[in-house]
Structure 1
Amino acid sequence: MKILKLIVLFLIINFGALAIGSWLMDGGSTSAWYTNLNQAPWTPPGWAFGAAWSFIMICFSVYMAYLYTESPTTKVKTLFLIQFVLNVSWNFIFFNQHLISLGLLDIILLTIVVAVFLFTYMKQLKIKSLLILPYFVWLCIATSLNAYILFNN
């Protein structure tokens, strides 16, 4: 029962982060600023972002519930908080403020934090570590998209 409560808690927090991030996007991927940028040829269609982030946050919420159950340490809490701030702030930095370089730094740091989760707790969580893999892979793709925009605009 405890794991189910934690999954629900992390779902609320993580989908809350998505909602805050969307609110801070200032039109996001449909804004004139973004649509007029030279974008990477591998940029997914707009609908894929919402679908991907929904799937990622479901998996990440389950991952965090298991991790927190097994390791409710200050390190886990701090990493989660840093991840939350970096995830939400990228939307504001990149889409709202149009600070592409700072956005790239933000998303690189976010990718590093997610990699720390993945590799630090892999032995402890074993197969459950696969739950954070979609987040890591998507961030690698998103980082490449941000970098392409920086270097081609």
Structure 2
Amino acid sequence: MKFFKHFLLFLIINFGALGIGILLMGNGPTSDWYISMNKAPWTPPGWAFGFFWTVIMICFSLYMTFLYLKSTTAQVITLFCIQFILNVLWNFVFFNQHLVAIGLGTIIALTVIVTAFLVTYYQSMKIKSLLILPYFVWICIATSLNLYILLKN
């Protein structure tokens, strides 16, 4: 029961971050500004974003539940909070404000935080570290897409 309660809490927080991010990005991906951008050839189709973010947040919520129950430290909570803020902030900075360079800085910082989770807690999480890999891979792809837009527009 303890596991399920924490898992549900992390699901609510993580999907809440996605919801807030969507609200803050305005019409983002459908805006004339974004549509007119020269985007990377490896940019996924629009439907992929919702699908992958759903999988990522379920896996990340499981990961955070296991990590939190194993190691309830200020460092874990701090990294999680920073991750939450950066995840939400990028949508606003990139899509709403059209600040591509600042968006790149934001998403690089998010990549560093996700990497810190993976590297710092790998020894204690072992095979459960696979749960954060979808987030890590996706955020690396997203960082490359942001960089491409900065360089090619």
Superposition pairs of residues 11-50 of structure 1, within 5 angstroms: 11-50=11-50
Cα-Cα RMSD: 0.4
Q: CA deviation at 1:149?
A: 0.1
Report Cα offsets for 1:63-82 as digits up to 9, x if no partner. Answer: 00000000000000000000
Distance (Å, rounded) in 2 between the aligned partners of 1:122 and 1:35 = 39
The structural deviation recorded for 1:12 is: 0.2
Q: Secondary structure at the match of 1:72?
A: coil
1:125 aligns with 2:151: no
Distance, in Å, in 1 between the alignment partners of 2:125 and 2:5 is 19
Q: Match of 2:108?
A: 108
CA distance in 1, matches of 2:3, 2:67: 10
Shift of 1:125: 0.7
1:28 shift after superposition: 1.7
Distance across 1 between alignment mates of 2:27 and 2:7: 30
What is the one-letter code of the residue matched to 1:77? I
Structure 2 counterpart of 1:70, one-letter code? K
Equivalent pairs, count = 153
Identity of aligned pairs, percent?
66
Matched letter for residue 68 of structure 2:
Y
TM superposition shift of 1:29: 1.1
Q: Which residue in the other structure is 1:91 paired with?
A: 91
* Paired residue type of 1:63: Y
Please, which moves more after superposition, 19-28 or 92-101?
Answer: 19-28
Q: Which amino acid aligns with 1:21?
A: G
Structure 1 position 9, deviation (Å): 0.2
Q: Deviations over 1:93-142 (max 9, x none)?
A: 00000000000000000000000000110110110000000000000000
Structure-2 separation of matches of 1:91 and 1:60 = 19
Name structure 1 gaps, 5 residues minimum. Answer: none
Q: What's the TM-score, normalizing by structure 2?
A: 0.99
For 1:27, the aligned partner's letter is N
Q: Return 24-33 or 134-143, whichever deviates more.
A: 24-33
Displacement, 1:50?
A: 0.6
Please give the TM-score of this superposition, normalised by the length of structure 1.
0.99
